[in-house]
Amino acid sequence: MAVVNTEQADTLRMRVREGGTVLVDYGAPWCPPCQTLLPILEELDEEYGSNVTILKVNCDVLPELAAEAGVMGLPTVIVYNGGQPMEKLVGLRPKSAYQGVLDRFAAANSR
C-alpha cells in the first residue's frame, strides 16, 4: 500500500471508521516540515505494510477535516486505532517518534 492523498472528507472518515491503525498526516504542500515528513511516511508505509494505513490531508483543500481534528499547526499527525484518535504529534518529529506510536497500536492489531 502507498501513502494515500485524501481527496474527500468522507473517504477519510470511512477509512478511520473501518478500524485498524490509521496514521493521518494533516499538512500542506507549501509547508517545508510537511515536505520533509513525506519521505518518512513513505518509509513507515514500507515498514508497516498492511498493518497501518497512512493517509495525507491537504489542509488547504479540506480545512473542515483539519478543524474536526483540532489541527493548530502543520504538520500534525494523528494516529487512530479502532476508529478513535489515540495520539497526536504536532510539528515535525524524528522517524522514531512515529515508529514508537505505531508500534504500540499496529502490534496489537496484528495479533
Burial 21-49 (b: 16+ CB within 10 A, else e): bbbbbbbeeebeebeebeebbeebbeebe
pLDDT confidence tier of residue 62, bands split at 50, 70 and 90: very high
Residue 40 cell numbers, joined = 518518512
Domain boundaries, the chain: 4-107
111 band by pLDDT with thresholds 50, 70 and 90:
very low
Please count the other Cβ atoms lying within 10 Å of the Cβ belonging to residue 13.
Answer: 14
- Cell triple for residue 54? 497512512
State percent of the chain over pLDDT 70: 95
Q: Which residues have a catalytic role annotated? A: 31, 34
- CATH number 3.40.30.10 is the correct assignment for the domain at 4-107: yes
Q: Give per-residue pLDDT as tens, 8-24.
A: 999 999 999 998 999 99
pLDDT exceeds cutoff 50 at 98: yes
CA distance 52 to 72: 24
Distance CA 51, CA 1 (A): 10
Q: Model's pTM, two decimal places?
A: 0.94
As a whole number, mean pLDDT of residues 80-99 equals 97
